[in-house]
Homo-oligomer: A and B are copies of this chain.
Amino acid sequence: MAEGRDYLRIATEEAFCPPEMLGVYAKLIDTKQVDDPGFLGMWGFYISSPTARTTFIRDHLVDVDEKRIAHMDAAGIDKAVLSLTAPGVQIMPKDTAVGFATFANDWLADAIARHPDRYVGLAAAAPQDPAAAAKEIERAVTRLGMRGVIISSHTLGEYLDDQKFWPIFEAAEALDVPIYIHPNTPNRHMYPTLAEKGLDGAIYGFSVETGMHILRIIVAGVFDRFPRLQIVIGHVGESLPFTLYRIDYMHRASTLSGRYEAMKPLKRAPSDYMKENLHYTNSGVAWAPPIRFIQDVIGVDRMMYAMDYPYQYLPAEVETLDAMDMPAADKKAFFQTNAEKLFKM
């Protein structure tokens, strides 16, 4: 811990991938083996574009040693929670995905073993095979020491509210580890209208895709079935806390009017789950107002720091967040202790 600072900085949504994954992606793109225009649009650009931004991202996703540690040191990041970058294995054919999740988790475990005081990791899993995913989560947590699970929103257009995926929730709850629901590109139906104006990515579409996914999980009753399950969402909660009042009001109105077969009354209001089953990070948003908003309306014990490296590496953002007008205890919770508790660091 640096002088004059009484908290560690733990960054909780930091992306990596084994170099082999870029090879798998390149092949999927070249052979157009996937019916996912979001993946083809985004990774088709990121994998080959020569711009400074995309080159930086490619070079640093695959590095978990000298370059990354140097960047963490330069920005004053003490520890990072690493997770396989989106969409991870969720775009691969089932058998490839199951095998690659194991490979990626072993690869990450090796990296953590080389830098045990700097990294912890989240386990990748292949929802394409829910039973195998649950098994891999158990292996990665109990044998490799992973502290949670990373899921990049939809899996080939399917969402975790579908009960066939619930073995994943069951495993996470039983192992007492959180699931981080990271954005994926919007599904094939929602992507075109957003992408035609450049809005499919981090500027807007990621948040739509992921916010919708979280609401699907809530209204499906996942937290009634798995009341101890904890889910983490980034990007200041994909904006959901901002309209918590409206979500509650309209959920009640819809269940009372009986309009939707898929929307039945829950044991509690949606906002109750948002306050007791969700955790939030500020990934990509180095701006105090929404961070303080979530601390106020959700709770200071559920708002955590994330940088979103290597997609958004700006040491100046760390200084901005250090300077937030916020009680010292809340700032320490934000930068350090909430992550320590949730990820058992």
A interface residues with partner B (beta carbon < 8 Å): 45, 49, 51-54, 161, 187, 189-190, 192-199, 201-204, 207-208, 211-212, 215-216, 219-220, 235-236, 239, 242-247, 249-251, 253-254, 256-260, 262-263, 284-287, 289-290, 293, 296-297, 312
**15 extra interchain contacts, Cβ-Cβ under 8 A, other than A239-B239, A245-B285, A250-B284?**
A45-B259, A187-B193, A189-B189, A197-B220, A198-B254, A198-B259, A199-B219, A201-B250, A201-B254, A207-B243, A236-B242, A243-B285, A289-B293, A289-B296, A289-B297
A102–B207 CA distance with the chains assembled, in angstroms:
39
Query: Are A203 and B250 in touch, CB under 8 angstroms?
Result: yes
Residues of B near A247 (CB, < 8 A) are 203-204
CB within 8 A of A262: which of B196, B201, B211, B243? B196
23 contacts between A and B (CB under 8 A): A51-B258, A52-B257, A53-B257, A54-B257, A161-B197, A187-B193, A189-B189, A189-B190, A190-B193, A198-B254, A198-B263, A199-B219, A201-B254, A202-B253, A203-B247, A203-B251, A204-B212, A236-B243, A239-B243, A245-B287, A246-B285, A250-B284, A289-B296
User: Is A245's CB under 8 angstroms from B286's CB?
Assistant: yes
Shortest CB-to-CB span from A236 to chain B, Å, is 7
Number of copies: 2
Complex CA–CA separation, A317 to B215 (angstroms): 25
Assess whether A242 is in contact with B239, with CB atoms less than 8 Å apart: yes
Q: How far is the CA of A293 from the CA of B54 in the complex (A)?
A: 34
Q: Which of B243, B289, B290 contacts A235 (CB 8 A)?
A: B243
Residues of chain B within 8 A (CB-CB) of A286 are: 245
Q: State in angstroms the CA–CA spacing of A66 and B284 once bound together.
A: 51
Residues in chain B near residue A189, CB distance under 8 A: 189-190, 192-193
Q: How far is the CB of A245 from chain B (nearest CB, A)?
A: 4
Query: From residue A156, how far is it (CB to closest CB) to chain B in Å?
Result: 13
Q: Could you tell me the distance between the alpha carbons of A194 and B193 in the complex, rounded to whole angstroms?
A: 14
B residues in contact with A219, CB < 8 Å? 197-199
Using A212-B193, A312-B249 as known contacts, say yes or no to A49 and B285 having CB atoms under 8 A apart.
no
Q: How far is the CA of A215 from the CA of B250 in the complex (A)?
A: 24
Residues of B within 8 A of A236 (CB): 242-243
Report yes or no: A284 in contact with B249, Cβ–Cβ below 8 A: yes
> Does the CB pair A211–B204 fall under 8 Å?
yes
Name the contact of A190 in the complex, choosing from B49, B190, B263 (C-beta under 8 A).
B190
In the complex, what's the smallest C-beta–C-beta distance from A328 to chain B, in angstroms? Answer: 22
A51 vs B259: C-alpha distance when bound (angstroms) = 9
Give the CA-CA distance A293 to B262 in the complex, in Å. 33
How far, in angstroms, from A243 to B293 measured CA to CA in the complex? 12
